[in-house]
A and B are shown apart, each in its own frame.
Chain A
C-alpha cells in the first residue's frame, strides 16, 4: 500500500508539495505561507536515505532537499529493521506467548544491545537486523553468500551461547531450536572464531 501511495505522490506533485490543492487548510485568511524551501539548506550527511537504504557501510548519505519526501514515500521503512520503531515497550510483549530478549555483544563495540528473538522468523531476518544495529561492522553473512561491503576489513561471525553454556555458530540448528536455546549473542571477530573451531558452515539455511 505504501509504495502505491508513493507512486501517486510523485504523479500529483508537479514540483514539490502543493498545499493550495488541499481543502484542509489551516491558518487565518491572508496569512502568508512559509514555504519549506525558505528553510535552511541542509549540508547534512544523514537523512531519509540512511533509514530506507540499509546497505551495510553505505556512506552515500546525501539528501536532496525537496526530493527527500518523494524518496521517503517511495521507499518506506521496513519494520523489522528500524531500531526504536514502532515504539512498543520491549519486554512488555502484548498478546504474544512469550518474548525472548537476549543481549548482543560485538567484539570491539562498546555497546551492548538487546534483541527480541521472537520478532524474527528466520536467521536471515535476524542477521539483517543485526547488520542494521551494528552498521559500522561487517557481519559475515555466509548463509546465502551475500556480498557485503567491507568497511574496516574485519569480518564478524555471529555466535551464540546456548543453554548449556556452549558457544555455537549461529545457523547450526533449526531456527526454533535456536530461539529456545539461545541465551546471548556475540558477534565474534572471524579470526577469533577460527581459533574456537567455529568455522564449519551452518547446517541450516534461512529457509528453515
Chain B
C-alpha cells in the first residue's frame, strides 16, 4: 500500500490550506505536525501575537517568521494599570521596531499594549513601514504629539489610529495638521486620551470631512459640545462615536443642531465619551438609542432618574459601561429592557470614599443576571455582597466567561451571614464551566481556592487580592487550574511552599505576579536555579537582594516563561534570579 507522506502534497496546496487558518493557536498546532509543515507554515504566517514581549526576542521571531504583516505585543504586567509597577520597569518597543524595520518592510499592523513607546520609536515606524495601516497604542506611554505628527505625515495608508488609554506627553502641537490634504483613508480614530493642547479642532474637522470611510471617531474631553454637531454632519456614516465634554449651557440652537446631527447618523451603534455630562443634553441621542448596541457612560456623572430613563430606551444594548450612579433601581430597569445584554461594567463613582454615596448593592447584579440571559462578562464594583446573591447569580448565568467582582473594602465578609464569600465564588466556578477570567474580592479563606482548583478548568486568568490563609490556597490553584495562563496576586499570605511545589506549572503559564506576599528571596533564587526557562524577577526598593537575608520576603515578584533568557533592560530596582546572576550575588 502506498503511504501518503507530506511530500506527496505540493507545498502550494498546503499553503493554501493554511491560509484558512487564522488563529495563532491553530497555526502553532499545525506547525508541530512535522518538519515540512513547520517550514511551510512559518513562511506563510502573516500575523503574530506576542503576549509578553520578553518571552521571545525580536531576532527569534524574525528568524522563524520572515514575512509578518501584523504584530501584536504586550509589555507590562496587568497590575501596572493600578500603579503597582514602578516607572522604568521596562516594556520598551524600540528594540522590536528597530529589528522589524529591516526585516518587515511590508508590515501593515502594529498593536501594542502596556508598552513604552518613544517618539523615536514612532518616527522609526513612520520611516520604515510605508504600508502601515493600523497603529493601536493601548495603555502605552512615553511618546508625545511629535511622534504622532511623524505618523500622520508619513503613513499614507493608515486606516486606524487608536491611542486608547495611553499617556501622551502634553506638547502643544498641531499634529493633526501633518496629515496631508491628500490623505483620505482614515477609518478609525481614537484620541480620547489626549490632553488640552493636543488637538487642533479645525484640522480635525477638515480631516473628518475628507475621509468618507471614517466609521469610528472617539474624541477627547476638550472638544466642546457645541462643536460636535458640525463634526457629525461631516461624518453621518459613523458607526461608533465618542463625544468630548458633554456639558454646556442649554441653548436651543445647539440642542437642535445636535439632535439633528445624531438623527442623521443612521448607522450609529456605539456611543461613548459623555465627560461631565449634564442631563439637559441627553435627549439629543434618543433617536439613536433604539439602535445602540454599546453604550459607555462610565465618564458621565449623570444620576437617576435621567440615567435610568436613558437606559430604558436602549433595548438593543449588548454592552453597557456605567458608573454606580445607576444604582440597583437602574439595573433593574436595564434587566427588564435590555434582553440582549452580554457585557456589563459598573464602576465606582467614589472609590476612595469611606461611606457609600449611592444605593448600589448586590441586588442590582442579581437583577441583571436574572433578566439578561445572554450575560457573559461582568465587572462590578460595589460595597456589599452575600454568598446567597453570588449563588443566585451563578445559577442564573452559567454562560459567564468573565466575572470580576471588586468589593471596595477588599476583605469584607458576607454582609448577611458574616461568613467569608468562599461559597459564593465557589458557586460561580462550579456553574460557569466556560469561565475564562475571574477576579476575587471580599473575605476569602483557603476554601474558595479549593473550589477554584476543583472546578475552574477553563480558567485562564485569575486575580486575587487580600485573600486566603496559607500556601494551600495557592497550591489548589496551581495544581487544579489546567488552563491557567495568568495569575496575579497582591497582599496574600502565600509563601514558598506552593510555589516551589508547583514550579513546573509556571512553565505552562504566561506569567505570575505576586506583590506584598510572603515569598522569600531564597525561594526565588532556588526557582531561578532550577527553572532556566523561567525569568524570575524580583522588584525591591530596599536595595539589592544580596543585602538581605534569604528568608526575607520579596516585595514584588514577576515570573514569566521565556525562550529569550533574562532581559538586559532592567532598571536598578529589578533583579533577575537567573542562575548566573544569582551565583554572582551570593
* Chain A, Cβ-Cβ closest to B324: A95
With A40-B472, A79-B354 as known contacts, state yes or no: A110 contacts B413, CB within 8 Å. no
Interface assignment of A150: CB less than 8 Å from any CB of chain B: no
- Given A69-B469, A103-B87: A119 touches B352 (CB 8 Å cut-off): yes
- Cβ contact within 8 Å between B412 and A2: yes
A112 vs B572: C-alpha distance when bound (angstroms): 12
Question: Given A80-B352, A86-B406, are A8 and B518 neighbors across the interface (CB < 8 Å)?
Answer: no
Pairwise interchain contact B409-A79, C-beta atoms closer than 8 A: yes
Tell me the nearest residue of chain B to A75, going by C-beta.
B411
A63 beta carbon closer than 8 Å to chain B: yes
Whether B351 lies near A88 (C-beta < 8 A) is yes
- Please indicate the chain A residues that have their CB under 8 angstroms from the CB of B81 in the complex: 87, 89-90
Bound together, the chains give a CA A111 to CA B300 distance in angstroms of 34
- The reply to whether B471 and A39 contact each other, CB–CB distance below 8 Å, is yes
Identify the closest chain B residue to A51 (Cβ): B491
Q: Which chain B positions have C-beta within 8 A of A91?
A: 165, 167, 193
**Chain A 96-122 interface 0/1 with B at a Cβ cutoff of 8 Å (1 = within):** 010000010000011111100001000
The closest CB in chain A to the CB of B552 belongs to A45
CB pair A5 B82 closer than 8 Å: no
Beta-carbon contacts of A31-74 to B below 8 Å, as 1s and 0s? 00010101111111111101100000000000101001100110
B82–A87 contact, CB under 8 A? yes
How long is the Cα–Cα vector from A45 to B228 in the complex, in angstroms?
57
In the complex the two chains form, is B83's CB within 8 Å of A77's CB?
A: no
Q: Which of A5, A86, A112 has the most CB of B within 10 A?
A: A86
Is the Cβ of B470 less than 8 Å from the Cβ of A90?
Answer: no
Q: A24 CA to B386 CA in the complex, in Å?
A: 11
Given contacts A111-B541, A113-B86, contact A17 B470 (CB under 8 A): no
Is there an interface contact between B443 and A72, defined as CB atoms closer than 8 Å? yes
Q: A8-B418, A44-B495, A119-B352 are in contact. Are A76 and B299 (CB under 8 A)?
A: no
A190 CB to nearest B CB, Å: 19
Report B150 CB to chain A, min CB distance, Å: 24
Given A69-B443, A69-B445, A86-B381: A9 in contact with B493 (beta carbons within 8 A): no
Chain B minimum-CB-distance residue to A10: B418
Contact (Cβ within 8 A) B418 A36: no
A77 to B276 CA separation, bound complex (whole angstroms): 31
Within the complex, what minimum Cβ distance (angstroms) separates A35 from chain B?
9
Q: Is A26 located at the chain interface by the 8 A CB criterion? A: yes
Provide the bound-state CA to CA distance between A46 and B165, in Å. Answer: 34
Separation in Å of the A63 CB from the closest CB of chain B? 6
Instruction: State which of B5-13, B229-237, B419-427 sits at the interface with chain A.
Output: B419-427
Q: Is B490 a contact partner of A84 (Cβ separation < 8 A)?
A: yes
The number of inter-chain residue pairs (CB within 8 angstroms) is: 199
Tell me, in angstroms, the Cα distance from A40 to B499 when the chains sit together.
Answer: 12
Known: A24-B388, A25-B423. A76 touches B411 (CB 8 A): yes
B471 to chain A, nearest CB (A): 4
Taking a contact as CB atoms under 8 Å apart, the answer to whether A84 and B84 are in contact is yes
Is A38's CB under 8 angstroms from B495's CB?
no
Q: Is A94 an interface residue (CB 8 A)?
A: yes
Return chain B residues, CB-CB under 8 Å to A43.
495, 551
- B417 is contacted by which of A22, A25, A88, A89 (Cβ under 8 Å)? A22
Mark contacts of B377-414 with chain A using CB atoms, 8 A cut-off: 1 yes-contact digit, 0 otherwise. 00001000001100100000000000000101111110
Task: Bits for B446-478, please: 1 = Cβ < 8 Å to A, else 0.
Answer: 110011000000000001011001111100000
Min CB distance A105 to B, Å, is 10
Q: How far is the CB of A157 from chain B (nearest CB, A)?
A: 19
Tell me the complex Cα distance, A90–B96, Å: 27
Of residues B300, B387, B495, B552, which shows the largest number of chain A Cβ atoms within 10 Å of its Cβ?
A: B495
**Which residues of A lie under 8 Å from residue B552 when comparing CB positions?**
45
A39 touches B83 (CB 8 A): no
Which of A17, A42, A79 contacts B419 (CB under 8 A)? A17
A85 to B440 CA separation, bound complex (whole angstroms): 12
Q: B79 an interface residue at 8 Å Cβ cutoff?
A: yes
**Closest beta carbon of chain A to B332's beta carbon, Å:** 21
Q: Is the CB of A26 within 8 A of B423?
A: yes
**Is the Cβ of A111 less than 8 Å from the Cβ of B573?**
yes
Q: Which A residues, 6 to 25, have Cβ-Cβ distances below 8 Å to chain B? A: 8-9, 12, 17, 19, 22, 24-25
Choose among B87, B420, B518 the residue that contacts A17 (Cβ–Cβ < 8 A). B420
Is the Cβ of A22 less than 8 Å from the Cβ of B419?
A: yes
Give A115's nearest chain B residue, CB to CB.
B83
| Alpha-carbon distance A83/B388, docked complex (angstroms) | 30
Within 8 Å of chain A (Cβ to Cβ): is B214?
no
Residue of A68, A83, A110 near B84 (CB, 8 A) is A83
Query: What residues on A are CB-neighbors of B412 within 8 Å?
Result: 2, 5, 76
**Shortest distance in angstroms between A185's beta carbon and chain B's nearest beta carbon?**
13
Chain A positions within 8 Å of B325 at CB level: 95
Residue of B nearest to A9 (CB): B418
Q: What chain B residues lie within 8 Å of A73 (beta carbons)?
A: 411, 413, 443
The answer, yes or no, to whether A177 is at the interface (CB within 8 Å) is no
Contacts of A63 in B (CB 8 A): 493
Q: Which 5 A-B pairs have the closest CB atoms?
A: A39-B472, A44-B518, A39-B470, A110-B573, A111-B86
What are 22 A-B pairs at a CB distance below 8 A? A1-B415, A24-B387, A24-B424, A38-B472, A40-B470, A40-B495, A46-B517, A46-B553, A47-B493, A48-B466, A69-B469, A76-B412, A79-B351, A79-B353, A84-B79, A86-B348, A94-B298, A109-B541, A110-B571, A111-B573, A112-B88, A113-B83
* Extra contacts besides A47-B518, A84-B515, A113-B87 (12): CB < 8 Å: A2-B409, A5-B418, A40-B497, A45-B552, A79-B351, A84-B83, A85-B410, A86-B410, A94-B298, A111-B87, A134-B541, A136-B541
